[in-house]
Amino acid sequence: MKQIFFFLSVIVLLSACKNNGEYKKVMHDPILFSQTVHELNGIVMGNNFSPVVATRNYTYASIAAYEVVAAGNSKYHSLADQLRGLNTLPQPTDAQQTDFPFAALLAYCKVGSAVTFPEGSMDAYVDALKQKAKDAGMPSKIFDNSVNYADAVADAVLDWSKKDNYAQTRSASKFTVTQEEGRWVPTPPMYAQAVEPHWMEIRPMVMDSASQFRVPPPLEFNMKDTNSEYCKQVMLIKNAIENLTPEQEEIANFWDDNPFKLNVNGHVMFGTKKFSPTGHWQSIIGIAAQKANADFDETVYAYTKTSIAMFDAFIQCWDAKYTYNTARPETVINKYIDPNWRPLLQTPAFPEYTCGHSTVSSAAAEALTSVFGDNFSYKDTTELEFGLTSRSYPSFRAAAIENNWARFYGGIHYHSSCITATEYGRKVGDFVANKLRMKEGEDRVAPAADTTHYY
């Protein structure tokens, strides 16, 4: 009888180990986290959020997931007291009976769907995650503890997010358009109002203020003197667009990342959607993490660090945009040279200087370089779902430099603006990557090589 009882006990124990191993294999898969980010990315795209607002969704959601990971892995440090206004976060009541990757997924979804959306936009996806955990054999106690801990961290992050001045900027004054030469005015075909003119008032994550990395003034507007530096930049972009090579057009379209393009064909108008600039980089993070064979926790870490860098980079850039309020090339060329000239890409509805996409791309490149190292080659397959071919890069910094040219090839930014944006986005990314202490053993990131190749 004792032998039978012993063998039954062994069978039960082996079965339990098998179940534990099964649910961990399923729920701890780093690709599952990237799939969850992609799910939020699709929701953001579907709701036409501007690039800056989209970044807010990704960043707070990633922070919630990261805080859960940090609570379960001593290699990672909480961002409490590292990010502005973020204080002590909840700790698990029973760490031994909590599945932290599963909780991180749930926390990400709860925050991501609540930051700017009506709550519940990811409910169906969350239900599927929970069912996946149950089907994989997650014990009920661990399941319940994980759900409860995810809710606690998500609620704390959401409470913190509500103090970043976003709500106040919803009712702030609209941008006032003036007829002063060289100042921004709405552009065709939408002639939309200026997007988020108060975004520089959003609380930064790591920077001291929106103006900490204030860019120098743009070139002085001067279309009367054909030898002025400003006029030279205007003619440079006009001539470039009129003589684009197929490769240059491909580069511009690959990095277009227009969350809502208005297509006009006679009396017919319809919109097409793509991932925003930060949505594109969310995809790149996942591609890099998978190539690096990063585990679940490191994958969350990469998303979080990069998102924070882009969050602050957009605040820095919007401070520049609405400090100087410069006109777009399309506006200047139409008024002074050719009323029928159009850029390759649709001009976004905010001032020209500096370039937002170049700013956040160079900031993201610095953050990702700090995680995966320089000279990390990868193939960017992000645009396949939008009918574009993939492009390969020898490093994240190389991708950011190509993006620099892409905005010029698109006809929406002077190249001098892209150069400044890239340099200052890099400053923000370097600052965030080196100031945050997120992972044990992090070293200071070596600065990029010379910037002469920007030209």
Query: Is residue 356 scored above 90 in pLDDT?
Result: yes
Strands of 373-432 (E only): list them: 378-380, 391-393
**pLDDT tens profile 373-388:** 999 999 999 999 999 9
pLDDT digits (tens, 9 = 90+) for 81-117: 999 999 989 999 999 999 999 999 999 999 999 998 8
- Return d(Cα 248, Cα 343) in angstroms, integer: 13
**End-to-end distance of the chain based on CA atoms, in angstroms?**
83
Name the CA radius of gyration of the chain, rounded: 24
Asked whether 32 and 105 are in contact (CB, 8 A), the reply is yes
Establish how many alpha carbons lie within 13 A of residue 218's alpha carbon, considering only the half-sphere containing its beta carbon. 29
Q: What tens digit of pLDDT does each residue of 326-345 get?
A: 999 999 999 999 999 999 99
Domain ranges of the chain: 25-166, 173-454
Which three-class secondary structure state does DSSP give residue 382?
Answer: helix
The answer to whether 232 and 340 are in contact (CB under 8 A) is no
Please provide residue 268's backbone torsions phi and psi, each rounded to the nearest 5 degrees. Answer: -95, 130
Residue 422 token pair: 């890239």
Q: 288-300: buried (b, 16+ CB within 10 Å) or exposed (e) per residue?
A: bbeebebebbbbb
How does residue 9 score in pLDDT terms, banded at 50, 70 and 90? very low
**What is the rounded distance in angstroms from the CA atom of residue 267 to the CA atom of residue 189?**
12
**3 or 205, which is more confident?**
205
- Topology classification of domain 173-454: Vanadium-containing Chloroperoxidase; domain 2 (1.10.606)
Contacts 24+ apart (CB under 8 A), 120-127: 121/43, 122/39, 122/40, 122/43, 125/36, 125/39
